[in-house]
Structure 1
């Protein structure tokens, strides 16, 4: 990873953060990433997504981590969904690992996932789960970082262009956290 990149947690989303995060989300969808949105992703829909995430971030139900360059430009993000059903207080979901195409292949994805694991452990979580497109670079990233494949679900979601794609479900035991 570039030495001038900093991973930090956002505790609130202001308009500038929403703008930057929307730019990354739109770029990922434009690049063909299957991240819950269809192409073309409008600014309004992207902003609505992040505005919907904001209350959970402010309430501490969701951790939002960002990778920023030396100028403070957000280049990537990942979320840890802490709020789970009462019989699952020991686990969290990792969601929306997004890295702008101009910043890929520099270790940001790995740094964001590692930071998410650490933040989840500090929050008392012991098990993380996630899903990603089968055969994607993200799938290879999670495997390299020690995540375990639970299974593959065919025809789980759509690519932004409407084609069906499979998803791989992963889990990882982390830290020695206690039930939250």
Structure 2
């Protein structure tokens, strides 16, 4: 089935918290470099949504776009525009997640395209993001028109804690 995309409100986040938590936890356990290290349990995963995402969505400075397949949370991405006054033209792409069971269906691309459309409505003309250098998401971002600004070695601890990984900083002018 084709995924449906929708913006999640604060109420939606709370109502679907177990599913959002399961999505994040599955991605971290699958090796995604998205800010967390193992062990990473359901409580920590749900805590990210309630302590980080929920307040920003409630304040109106972040949106959460969710992909659903057959009513099940399959993926998500966030757009954060909580910027300083001199950066009111810019927003940051955060936490592009697609559950392993739903990969290779174009969901990440759909989420990113919808996120860019939302950014234009704000209006924001510059999007930035960072991704683990060499990660499978890097070619996706490049294919969507993101440009590599540079790389920072030893930027983040790998999810299993065994090494420091580089990150690639990217941007896109809308």
TM-score by length of 1: 0.92
Give structure 1 stretches of 5+ with no counterpart.
Answer: 175-180
Counterpart-to-counterpart distance in 2, 1:43 and 1:117: 30
Residues 1-180 of structure 1: pairs in structure 2 closer than 5 A? 4-12=2-10, 13-52=12-51, 53-70=53-70, 72-162=71-161, 163-174=163-174
Shift of 1:39: 1.1
For residues 2-59 of structure 1, give each alpha carbon's deviation from its aligned partner in whole angstroms, at most 9, with x where no partner exists. Answer: 5x21111112144332111110110011101111000121111111100021021122
- Once structures 1 and 2 are overlaid, which stretch shifts more, 52-61 or 80-89? 52-61
Is the 2:98–2:108 Cα contact (8 Å) retained in structure 1? yes
Counterpart-to-counterpart distance in 2, 1:56 and 1:109: 22
Give the aligned CA root-mean-square deviation in angstroms. Answer: 1.0
More helix by share: 2
Give structure 2 stretches of 5+ with no counterpart.
Answer: none
Equivalent position of 1:178 in the other structure: none
- SS of aligned partner of 1:33: coil
Is the 1:29–1:40 Cα contact (8 Å) retained in structure 2? no
Q: How many residues align?
A: 171
